């Protein structure tokens, strides 16, 4: 027994030393969505710790009290069938715990799937985040700019990410701002995010998508609105426009550094939503040319919709 | 030349060439060895053509152990690669192949084979039967599994391993992104062994429903039999989904269809759904027999009856139903609305209730017992807290909003290893040690066994607990490397250390088998553990016909009642026993399936057609074959029984 406790103490020390220096990313939220998930995680860790402790205490008790060496040689364990009260407890208590956590789960799931509380009145900033092997392309249709592998966000501003992929399934994840969501080629997923602390955060693709997966990450910088506007103006003044040829090269498999363009690829390569969705089986005669025309329309509508 | 180029490995490395040489040398050594000792006849007559459920069970277990070492080697390579930041031991492609094969080998060819092996050996004995319902089909099941396993295992030296993860998500697994033949191997190896598994499922359901000893009503079956019955029902419902999904994948990759493509009306999400509609029940296919084994072991070594037998059965039935209602929790992040995710979140958490009942029933089985700390019992005791930790982290993952943060991270990896290793692997080891004397007539050394136990338990904790932390720190799974700045280094090193202890633990088990084979006494009697259920009422090792006389049973603890209350289990006289004949057709047919699969992987249509016709030919031949089995005479039975001391007379 003593050896076991020494071992446990040893593990505990190592864990605290190793993790004590910096808080774990997921539990160090910088926005309301990640704060919600962090709270839920803490609630569940504490609830579950109670169960683990109860089981370990019961087990230890059984092992210490009913080990053969503690019993007389002629002790014959009784035949015990079961007891409705005991079985009521071992069914009832878990049901209560699960019911409690179900409520937590449902409420928090609805929360992270909506614009965070307090930001409902804001017009959200729409950013298309699309992945290609093994890069992220960020299109800001309202600002009419596009970046590769880095993301600038205004703080205290509701942001609506529209996620999709130019190939494999990837998963868009900025642990300190919100949980992840898949980006797929045949539909657009929405992720609601707010950053309320300026700073630099790590973002990555969390879903395995082949050889370049480990390096499939991006940098996120959250900054006050004025700085963000300044950044947009700088890009409009300095960056080259993105063209179909450039974009086709960008989405070839490989790795790229950070890049900046004016315009967005949505103008000529629309996101798979609305009539461009992968599951829109409307007209079989759809050709690529048709698609891009429709897409341009959608693109303009999009920006009209968000004009302040 | 073009024809032969397809067999080349797309990403060769010195390690793969070394493996090729090693495989070649070992094959030659085995062939030379068998020829030198003139064992070909023995091997063919006694093992390769056998229809005896016990020998088939042992062959399953040997194959499972081999696959455990294959998958274990993959695991150690992964931990070694990620032990330090920016390591260059494996490159990205090689790492991807290694974790893909690790997952496939461990789930399909190790865990599945191990549980089916133990079921094969133990179930007929526990229900007092002479064999399974369809002995010949049983042999075919095994050989199809074996053909599938071998097909999968040659992939890394011929043509290249699959590299899209064991979950094999499309479009990554499509020919657009996975260009080698690796995923073809995945499709065909799993298809062939999956057919075998489906047949096993049908076979065991029939056996358990139809062949129980007189007096053994459903509610008097030992708990392992109950778990096997429910498991096999799940197999029969779940595996056809995998069969179809694999077939659709094959069509996509080899005939240019678009089932799982993201264009032309295909749907990549459909693969994920089909895969997990099979995949989540699969989790319970693995864990329920483990629960059954723990129920037997804990009752035996607490010297008590299993607490709450009825609630154990009811909870397993509940788990089996719920297991088909939770698959979406494997991809909460795929973009369903909050309503869908909430529903699947609740169904998932609901499974915690019946599972909790079982945990408390095991604890209450120890209550007022007389606990003996044998090696199988140590694994069962370690299982309870470790599996509880794995279970509660499962509940944490079931909370959809929080899952957005755990999904695809090392936290998830830690969770499922935390249920599969203490849950399934510990049960397989414990069951193997517990039933070892039943199979081979001698005990494994307890002292060495306990050393292995401590290495494995401590190694497990060091390997996987650090992953919970790095997962919460943002470490995605399946990354072949990471930068030093992430801070994952020290904990990953700890994890590698744990993996080394695990490897050492398994090596000690192998040594224990060798040591005990050389040194253990053979005169252990019929009931070395002072056990409770029917399988211990016959001899060790079990004679070919299992029971000289069919036992008559009055409770789920038939042997215990016989011992304590003086029931006579064997009332009848010895009569001649009807047994199935050996047959070479199952292994031949599985060999043809192997050729069929291999040819299909490489688009060798002549091979596909010829082997396909030959398979149909085998089936046609079987339809007209007359084989009424054979009888073991009364004299022969008496002679055998006398050798064992005539305990049943």
Same domain for A290 and A219: yes
Ramachandran bin of B54, using left for φ above 0, alpha for ψ from -120 to 50, beta for the remaining angles: alpha
CA distance A116 to chain B (A): 13
- Better-predicted residue by pLDDT, B202 or A297: B202
| Token digits of residue B123 | 């179930």
Residue A277 lies in a domain: yes
When CB atoms are compared, the residue of B269, B389, B408 closest to A207 is B408
CB B524 within 8 A of CB B531: no
Q: Determine which helix (DSSP H) or strand (DSSP E) holds B326, and give its type and residue range.
A: none
When CB atoms are compared, the residue of B265, B311, B479 closest to A213 is B479
Residue B125 lies in a domain: yes
CB B300 within 8 A of CB B530: yes
Q: Determine which helix (DSSP H) or strand (DSSP E) holds B578, and give its type and residue range.
A: strand B577-579
Residue B200 lies in a domain: yes
Q: Is the pLDDT of residue B470 over 70?
A: yes
- Are B469 and A15 an interchain contact pair (Cβ–Cβ within 8 Å)? yes
Output the average pLDDT for chain B. Answer: 94
Domain endpoint, select from A62, A89, A112 = A112
Please count the other Cβ atoms lying within 10 Å of the Cβ belonging to residue B236: 17
Q: Is the pLDDT of residue B67 over 50?
A: yes
Q: Count Cα atoms within 13 angstroms, Cβ side, for B402.
A: 26
Residue A119 lies in a domain: no
Contacts of B310 in chain A (CB under 8 A): 82
DSSP for chain A reads -HHHHHHHHHHHHHHHHHHHSS--GGGS-SSHHHHHHHHHHHHHHHHHHHHHHHHHHHHHHHHHHSBGGGS-TT---------HHHHHHHHHHHHHHHHHHHHHHHHHHHHHTSPPTT-TTSPPEEEEEEEETTEEEEEETTTTEEEESEEEEETTS-EEEEEEESSS-EEEEETTTEEEEEEBTTB-EEEEE---S-EEEEEEE-S--STTGGG-EEEEEEE-HHHHHHHHHHHHHHPPBP-HHHHHHHTSSS----EEEES-GGGTS--S-GGGSTT--S-TT--HHHHHHHHHHHHHHHHHHT--
Residue B115 lies in a domain: yes
Annotate A221-258 with b (16+ C-beta within 10 A) or e (fewer): bbbeeeebeebbeebeeebeebeeeebeebbeeeebee
Residue A296 lies in a domain: yes
Contacts of A106 in chain B (CB under 8 A): 338, 342, 345-346
Residue A265 lies in a domain: yes
- The rounded distance, in Å, linking the Cα atoms of A245 and B137 is 60
- The rounded distance, in Å, linking the Cα atoms of B166 and B183 is 10
Residue B100 lies in a domain: yes
Predicted confidence at residue B4, as pLDDT, reads 80
- Are B402 and A41 an interchain contact pair (Cβ–Cβ within 8 Å)? yes
CA neighbor of B286 nearest in space, from B387, B408, B428: B428
Same domain for A156 and A49: no
Predicted confidence at residue A270, as pLDDT, reads 92
When CB atoms are compared, the residue of B268, B304, B462 closest to A184 is B268
Closest residue of chain B to A48, computed from CA coordinates: B392
Residue B11 lies in a domain: yes
pLDDT band, residue B648 (cuts 50/70/90): very low
- The rounded distance, in Å, linking the Cα atoms of B142 and B237 is 20
Look up the domain containing A83 and give its range.
13-112
Same domain for A167 and A40: no
Q: Is the pLDDT of residue B417 over 60?
A: yes
Predicted confidence at residue B262, as pLDDT, reads 79
Predicted confidence at residue A295, as pLDDT, reads 41
When CB atoms are compared, the residue of A82, A109, A185 closest to B345 is A109
Annotate B55-92 with b (16+ C-beta within 10 A) or e (fewer): bbbbbbbebbbbbbebbbbbbbbbbebbbbbebebbeb
Q: What is the pTM of this model?
A: 0.93
Residue A53 lies in a domain: yes
Same domain for A163 and A83: no
When CB atoms are compared, the residue of B262, B403, B465 closest to A184 is B262
List per-residue pLDDT tens for chain A, 308 residues long.
455 556 666 655 655 555 555 789 999 999 999 999 999 999 999 999 999 999 999 999 999 999 999 889 899 999 988 888 988 999 999 999 999 999 999 999 999 999 999 999 999 999 999 999 999 999 999 999 999 999 999 999 999 999 999 999 999 999 999 999 999 998 999 999 999 999 999 999 999 999 999 999 999 999 999 999 999 999 999 999 999 999 999 999 999 999 999 999 999 999 998 877 766 554 444 444 444 444 444 433 433 344 33
| Token digits of residue B382 | 């370690």
Contacts of B356 in chain A (CB under 8 A): 51, 90, 94
Q: Which candidate in A83, A186, A205 is best for mutational testing of the B interface (most B CBs within 10 A)?
A: A186
Same domain for A104 and A26: yes
CA distance B303 to chain A (A): 6
Contacts of A184 in chain B (CB under 8 A): 262, 268-269, 334-335
- Are A59 and B490 an interchain contact pair (Cβ–Cβ within 8 Å)? no
Residue A289 lies in a domain: yes
| CA angle in degrees (0–180, nearest 5) for A76-A81-A85 | 125
When CB atoms are compared, the residue of A19, A37, A87 closest to B405 is A37
- Are B363 and A58 an interchain contact pair (Cβ–Cβ within 8 Å)? yes
Q: Provide the number of CB pairs (under 8 Å) joining chain A to chain B.
A: 285
When CB atoms are compared, the residue of A81, A95, A214 closest to B92 is A214
- The rounded distance, in Å, linking the Cα atoms of B133 and B205 is 9
What is the domain-level CATH number for residue B117? 1.20.210.10
Residue A117 lies in a domain: no
Q: Tell me whether 0.90 is exceeded by the ipTM.
A: yes
Same domain for A156 and A37: no
Burial of B154 (0-12, 13-18, 19+ CB in 10 A): middle
Domain endpoint, select from A57, A81, A112 = A112
| Token digits of residue B309 | 């037998």
Closest residue of chain A to B167, computed from CA coordinates: A208
Same domain for A177 and A300: yes
Same domain for A294 and A149: yes
pLDDT in tens, B571-620: 888 999 999 999 999 999 999 999 999 999 999 999 999 999 999 999 99
Same domain for A176 and A94: no
Predicted confidence at residue A13, as pLDDT, reads 60
**Under 8 Å CB-to-CB from B145, ≥6 apart: which residues?**
B60, B63, B109, B112, B113, B116, B193, B196, B197
Residue B131 lies in a domain: yes
What is the domain-level CATH number for residue A181? 2.60.40.420
Residue B140 lies in a domain: yes
Look up the domain containing B267 and give its range.
1-287
CA distance A135 to chain B (A): 15
pLDDT in tens, B481-539: 999 999 999 999 999 999 999 999 999 999 999 999 999 999 898 999 999 999 999 99
In chain B, % of residues over pLDDT 70? 99
Contacts of A216 in chain B (CB under 8 A): none
Domain endpoint, select from A112, A135, A170 = A112
Strands A145-148 and A189-193: unpaired
Residue B376 lies in a domain: no
DSSP for B361-382 reads HHHHHHTT--B---HHHHHHHH
Residue A239 lies in a domain: yes
Domain count, chain A: 2
Backbone angles phi, psi at A149, to 5 degrees: 65, 10
Contacts of A110 in chain B (CB under 8 A): 338, 342
CB A193 within 8 A of CB A186: no
Q: Count Cα atoms within 13 angstroms, Cβ side, for B591.
A: 8
Residues facing residue A154 across a β-bridge: A223
Domain count, chain B: 1
Same domain for A28 and A146: no
Same domain for A277 and A211: yes
- Are B465 and A26 an interchain contact pair (Cβ–Cβ within 8 Å)? no
Same domain for A140 and A44: no
- The rounded distance, in Å, linking the Cα atoms of B255 and A3 is 61
What is the domain-level CATH number for residue A40? 1.10.287
pLDDT in tens, A193-244: 999 999 999 999 999 999 999 999 999 999 999 999 999 999 999 999 999 9
- Are A112 and B404 an interchain contact pair (Cβ–Cβ within 8 Å)? yes
Burial of A75 (0-12, 13-18, 19+ CB in 10 A): middle
Predicted confidence at residue B63, as pLDDT, reads 96
| Token digits of residue B213 | 């000893």
């Amino acid at each position: 027994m003593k050896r076991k406790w020494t071992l446990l103490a040893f593990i505990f020390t190592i864990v605290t030393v190793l993790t004590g220096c910096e808080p774990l990313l997921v539990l160090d939220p910088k926005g309301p969505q990640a704060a919600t998930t962090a709270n839920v995680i803490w609630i569940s860790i504490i609830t579950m710790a109670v169960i683990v402790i109860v089981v370990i205490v019961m087990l230890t008790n059984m092992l210490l009290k009913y080990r053969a060496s503690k019993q007389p040689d002629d002790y014959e364990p009784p035949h015990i069938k079961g007891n409705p009260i005991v079985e009521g407890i071992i069914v009832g208590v878990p049901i209560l715990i699960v019911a409690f956590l179900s409520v937590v789960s449902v409420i928090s799931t609805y929360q992270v799937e909506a614009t965070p509380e307090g930001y409902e009145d804001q017009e959200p900033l729409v950013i298309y985040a699309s992945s290609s092997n093994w890069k992220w392309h960020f299109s800001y249709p309202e600002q009419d700019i596009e970046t590769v592998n880095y993301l600038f966000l205004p703080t205290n501003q509701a942001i609506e990410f529209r996620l999709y992929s130019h190939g494999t399934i990837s998963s868009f994840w900025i642990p300190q701002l919100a949980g992840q969501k898949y980006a797929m080629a045949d539909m657009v997923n929405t992720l609601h995010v707010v950053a309320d602390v300026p700073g630099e955060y790590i973002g990555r693709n969390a879903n395995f998508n082949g050889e370049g997966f480990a390096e499939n990450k991006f940098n996120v910088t959250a900054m006050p609105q004025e700085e963000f506007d300044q950044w947009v103006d700088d890009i409009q003044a300095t960056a080259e426009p993105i063209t179909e040829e450039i974009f086709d090269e960008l989405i070839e498999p490989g790795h790229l550094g950070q890049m900046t363009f004016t315009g967005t690829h949505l103008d000529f390569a629309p996101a798979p939503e609305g009539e461009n969705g992968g599951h829109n089986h409307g007209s079989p005669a759809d050709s690529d040319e048709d698609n891009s025309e429709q897409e341009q329309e959608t693109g303009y509508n999009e920006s009209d919709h968000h004009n302040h | 030349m073009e024809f032969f180029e397809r067999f080349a490995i797309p990403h060769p490395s010195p390690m793969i060439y070394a493996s090729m040489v090693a495989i070649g040398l070992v094959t030659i050594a085995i062939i030379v060895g068998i020829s030198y000792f003139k064992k070909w006849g023995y091997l063919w007559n006694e093992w390769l053509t056998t229809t005896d459920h016990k020998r088939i069970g042992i062959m399953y277990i040997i194959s499972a152990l081999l696959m455990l070492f294959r998958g274990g080697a993959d695991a150690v390579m992964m931990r070694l690669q990620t032990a330090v930041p920016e390591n260059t031991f494996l490159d990205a492609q090689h790492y991807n192949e290694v974790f893909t094969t690790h997952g496939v080998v461990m789930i399909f060819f190790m865990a599945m084979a191990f549980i089916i092996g133990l079921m094969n050996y133990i179930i007929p004995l526990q229900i007092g039967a002479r064999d399974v319902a369809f002995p010949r089909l049983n042999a075919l099941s095994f050989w199809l599994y074996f053909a599938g396993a071998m097909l999968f295992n040659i992939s890394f030296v011929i043509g290249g391993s699959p590299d899209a993860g064991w979950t094999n998500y499309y479009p990554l697994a499509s020919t657009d992104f996975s260009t080698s033949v690796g995923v073809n191997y995945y499709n065909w190896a799993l298809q062939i062994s999956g057919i075998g598994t489906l047949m096993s499922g049908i076979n065991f359901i029939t056996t358990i429903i139809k062949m129980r000893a007189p007096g053994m009503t459903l509610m008097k079956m030992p708990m392992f039999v109950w778990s096997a019955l429910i498991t096999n029902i799940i197999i029969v419902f779940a595996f056809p989904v995998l069969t179809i999904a694999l077939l659709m994948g094959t069509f996509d990759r080899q005939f240019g269809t678009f089932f799982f493509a993201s264009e032309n009306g295909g749907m990549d999400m459909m693969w994920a759904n089909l895969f997990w509609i099979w995949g989540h029940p699969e989790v319970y296919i693995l864990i329920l027999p483990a629960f059954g084994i723990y129920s037997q072991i804990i009752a035996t070594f607490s010297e008590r009856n299993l607490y709450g037998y009825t609630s154990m059965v009811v909870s397993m039935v509940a788990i089996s139903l719920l297991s088909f209602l939770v698959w979406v929790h494997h991809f909460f992040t795929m973009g369903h609305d909050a309503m869908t995710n909430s529903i699947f979140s609740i169904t998932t958490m609901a499974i915690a209730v019946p599972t909790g009942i079982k945990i408390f029933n095991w604890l209450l089985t120890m209550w007022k017992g007389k606990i003996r700390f044998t090696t199988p019992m140590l694994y069962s005791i370690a299982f309870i807290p470790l599996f509880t930790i794995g279970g509660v982290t499962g509940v944490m993952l079931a909370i959809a909003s929080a899952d957005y943060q755990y999904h695809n991270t090392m936290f998830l990896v830690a969770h499922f290893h935390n249920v599969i290793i203490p849950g399934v692997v510990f049960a397989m080891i414990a069951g193997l040690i517990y039933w070892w004397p039943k199979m081979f007539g001698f005990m494994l050394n307890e002292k060495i066994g306990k050393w292995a136990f401590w290495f494995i338990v401590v190694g497990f904790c060091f390997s996987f607990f650090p992953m919970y932390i790095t997962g919460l720190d943002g470490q995605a799974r399946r990354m072949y490397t990471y930068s030093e700045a992430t801070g994952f280094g020290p904990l990953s090193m700890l994890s590698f250390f744990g993996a080394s202890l695990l490897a050492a633990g398994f090596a000690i088990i192998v040594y224990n088998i060798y040591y005990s084979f050389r040194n253990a006494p053979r005169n252990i009697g019929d009931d070395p553990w002072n056990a409770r259920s029917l399988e211990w009422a016959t001899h060790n090792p079990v004679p070919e016909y299992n029971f000289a006389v069919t036992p008559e049973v009055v409770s789920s603890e038939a042997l215990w009642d016989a011992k304590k209350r003086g029931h006579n289990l064997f009332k009848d006289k010895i009569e001649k026993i009807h047994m199935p004949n050996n047959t070479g057709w199952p292994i031949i047919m599985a060999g043809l399936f192997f050729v069929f699969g291999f040819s299909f992987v490489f688009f060798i249509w002549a091979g596909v057609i010829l082997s396909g016709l030959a398979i149909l030919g085998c089936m046609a031949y079987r339809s007209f074959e007359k084989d009424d089995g054979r009888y073991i005479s009364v004299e022969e039975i008496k002679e055998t029984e006398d050798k064992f001391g005539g305990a049943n007379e």
